[in-house]
Amino acid sequence: MGTKEQLLRLLEDNRERHVSGAAMAKAIGVSRNAVWKAVEALRAEGYAIDAVTNRGYALSQENDLLSPQGIERFLPDNRAFAVTVRKRVDSTNAEARRRALEGAAEGTVVVAEEQIAGKGRPGKTFFSTAATGLYLSIVLRPTLAADRGQFITCAAAVACAQAIEQVTGAESLIKWVNDIYCDGRKVAGILTEGVVDMESGRFEHAVLGIGVNVKPPTDGFPHDIADVAGAVLGDHTGAIRCELAAAILARFWDVYRRMEDPALYDEYRRRCFLLGQPLVVRQGASRVRARAVDLTPDFKLVIELPDKSRRELPYGEVTIGSIASHP
């Protein structure tokens, strides 16, 4: 870890508390001049660092840039994540997948300030502007069979909803199967991808991607999602992205390690707001009226069709309402 990175960790650990240049130099083992150069380098990257004569340097509480140091200070000591933060990537899932193929360990995390080709499902993009969202992907090496991959997505949905509530206090619900809603608007999406060993039917690795709209985009959401998309915070104030990233990681890791525990199903079902609602189920170019009546233990959505027959959906695109309201 270089001088700049060590200095940032020191500033994050003492956020809003001034630390003298001499104390920093001693803690890191460098000269006062090296400390000054590292401070200037961080400022050039956008970090708001206050300097007060005879008191030293302090990182502003309103500084909301993402960094490994900022995220790791909120993580419990027993959580072994290797966190990397990039300014811009094509997608964090694509970057994490490349690292998984190179042998990256489980718990490798890629976080980005901006995605230029954020991925949704199936084949959709995820709107991912700089400085207003949280986009992260985790390399996993699960032991479960590939046909139970839905458990990873549902564990992430529960963890993301819980983390948003923990950090912001906003009630967070789940729209089956992979979206998080606050105040009736989608604030987060989840995408799980994997490579499967065809002989064993098990994952060689999986990549879990989570995207959260933390703050409203300066220019608003694109027209095609403006009626649905929302943000966790109602304005641009507040520095919560590092804390939220850590909360998502910590809560996911807890659930991931016990995905077969019935508590995961119970919590997911409790937060799933589709149950009992009239739906439009999209199947290719066709649309079918139905009603969501239940969830199976492996997270398939049970729908009731107009003729009272029932079907289990392992995945699919569903919308609350009638066909007439969804042209």
Answer whether 101's CB lies under 8 Å from 179's CB. no
Of 202, 198, 199, 160, give the one whose Cα is nearest residue 177.
160
Torsion on CA atoms 291, 294, 297, 301, rounded to nearest 10: 10
The better pLDDT of the pair 78, 200 is held by: 200
Share of the chain above pLDDT 70, in %: 95
* Residue 38, CA distances (Å) to 11, 29, 56 in order: 12, 13, 14
The better pLDDT of the pair 237, 246 is held by: 246
Per CATH, the number for 278-325 is: 2.30.30
Per CATH, the number for 68-271 is: 3.30.930.10
Q: What gap in Å lies between CA 50 and CA 317, rounded to an integer?
A: 49
Res 236: pLDDT: 66
In single-letter form, the type of residue at position 168 comes to T
Average pLDDT over residues 143-168: 96
Average pLDDT over residues 60-71: 90
Res 123: pLDDT: 60
Q: What gap in Å lies between CA 324 and CA 327, rounded to an integer?
A: 6
Q: What is the pLDDT of residues 294-327, one digit of tens each?
A: 999 999 999 999 999 999 999 888 999 765 444 4
Q: Is the pLDDT of residue 60 over 90?
A: no
Considering the chain, tell me which residue range(s) the CATH 2.30.30 domain(s) occupy.
Answer: 278-325
Q: What is the pLDDT of residues 206-223, one digit of tens each?
A: 999 999 999 998 888 888
Considering the chain, tell me which residue range(s) the CATH 3.30.930.10 domain(s) occupy.
Answer: 68-271
Of 52, 69, 97, 78, give the one whose Cα is nearest residue 9.
69
Res 131: pLDDT: 85
User: Which DSSP string corresponds to 117-174?
Assistant: S-B-TTS-B----TTTEEEEEEEE---SBGGGTHHHHHHHHHHHHHHHHHHH----EE
Question: Average pLDDT of the chain?
Answer: 91
Of 169, 159, 191, give the one whose Cα is nearest residue 315.
191
How sure is the predictor about 38, in pLDDT bands with cuts at 50, 70 and 90? Answer: very high
Point out the least confidently predicted range of 166-175, 243-252, 293-302, 311-320: 311-320
Per CATH, the number for 3-59 is: 1.10.10.10
Answer whether 211's CB lies under 8 Å from 188's CB. yes
